[in-house]
Amino acid sequence: MNNILSALVMSVVLLGGSEQTQPSGLPPQDTPPRAPAPTLLPPVAVQASAALPWLNQSTERGVLADAAEAREGRKLYLLPQDCSERSDVDVVIHFHGSPKTMTKAFRSSHLDAVAVIVNLGALSGPYEHHFEQRGSFVNFLAGIDKDLAKHCPGAKRRRLAISSWSGGYGAAYRILVEESNLQLIDAILLSDGLHSAMANKFTREVKPDGLAPFERFAALAARGEKLFAMAHSSIVPPGYSSTTETATYLLESQGAKRVEADAQGPRESMHLTSKGSVGSLTVLGFEGNDTHAHCDHLYAINDTLFTQLERRWAN
């Protein structure tokens, strides 16, 4: 997956979008009229307030420009054009995914929010490590608030969503381990990325301990207090639970079951084969068991997950 940066990137871009077709396999919900997408303005780059210690290194000659910027410790901010005229603004923090691809996804969505795209590495480990110390997420949010004060003067952070693809779920896991963080987050969106240890490698029974933080959030979502949306492929990794198995576990922990589905899309190579929901806890299961299928979920994140957040925040 050579299009995935393995570092923290920071820039400022103004957010816009175009309407996308919603996949027919999404759980049925009332969809309010969509407001016109914000107008795009040219990107404006800003320096990060601080680099990650283990990434604050000089770069070798010949390295790609985006990788070099990543090693300086940068994030990518996407800001609504009129954010400086608002009293508050919603924020989506996305962990893991090519900034170019994620920028396109946010522009294609009708989310009227600030988006923050964060890359820390290729696997879940760096994302877990960054938030393993108590209070680290609150400090991380304080940095975002400082940047908002600079670029959206007068606008305070309102609702918050955590989004991730692939190994980026490690950040969501560590953030949710600290239970006091639950009250700060309105939505969790996981795109083909939630793995756990197995209690029994022969039966592939999921080990509950590793999913406990997500199970707490799933319980809140099942009651409609939060949104917890997952979309996954059918990849079965050796040695640990698959995204299918972990999503099934969380559904069943709230008394819900999957049902069969048969819908093509949202990408030509994607086929929805199952879905399940209870309250605002939703799962979309797609076929595909290779790298291409895994990457499809990054490219389709607007259709599979962002549309669900858009509906929630439109109310």
Q: Say if 1 falls within a structural domain.
A: no
Phi, psi values for residue 12, rounded to 5°: -125, 130
User: Looking at residue 66, what is its pLDDT?
Assistant: 39
205 domain residue, yes or no: yes
Q: How many C-beta atoms surround the C-beta of residue 36 within 10 A?
A: 9
Q: Is residue 76 part of a domain?
A: yes
Whole-number pLDDT of residue 123:
87
Smallest Cα–Cα separation from 35: which of 111, 118, 120?
Answer: 111
Phi, then psi, of 252 in degrees rounded to 5 = -70, -30
Condensed to tens digits (0 to 9), the pLDDT of residues 263-272 reads 999 999 999 9
Number of independent structural domains in the chain: 1
Place of tokens 């979502």: 221
Contacts of 104 (CB under 8 A, 6+ apart): none
Separation between Cα atoms, residue 251 and residue 242, nearest integer Å: 14
| pLDDT tens-digit series, residues 56-113 | 222 222 223 333 334 334 678 899 888 889 999 999 999 999 888 999 999 999 999 9
CATH code, domain with 291: 3.40.50
pLDDT at 29: 42
Q: Answer yes or no: is 192 within a domain.
A: yes
Q: Which residues pair with 38 in a beta bridge?
A: none
Backbone angles phi and psi of 294, in degrees to 5: -65, -45
Secondary structure element (H or E) that encloses residue 172, with its range: helix 169-177
Beta carbons of 110 and 19 less than 8 angstroms apart: yes
Torsion of CA 309, 310, 311, 313, to 10 degrees: 80
Q: If you count them, how many residues does the chain have?
A: 315
Domain containing 114 equals 9-23+34-314
CB 20 within 8 A of CB 108: yes
Which residue positions in the chain have pLDDT lower than 70? 1-74
Does any domain span residue 3?
Answer: no
Residue 175 lies in a domain: yes
- Structure tokens belonging to residue 115: 């988006």
As a whole number of angstroms, the distance between CA 233 and CA 296 comes to: 9
Tokens read off for 83 = 């954010």
pLDDT at site 42? 33
Contact criterion met (CB below 8 Å) for 23 and 271: no
Q: Name the DSSP letter for residue 204.
A: T
Within a domain: 150: yes
Element (H, E) at 123: none
CA distances from 153 to 15, 87, 142, 157 (A): 17, 9, 15, 11
Could you give the CA distance from residue 304 to residue 284 in angstroms, rounded to a whole number?
8
Distance CA 7, CA 54 (A): 10
Q: What pLDDT sits at residue 74?
A: 61
3-class SS of residue 12: strand
Rounded to whole angstroms, the Cα distance separating 291 from 176 reads: 28
d(CA 61, CA 199): 47
Position 182 in a domain: yes
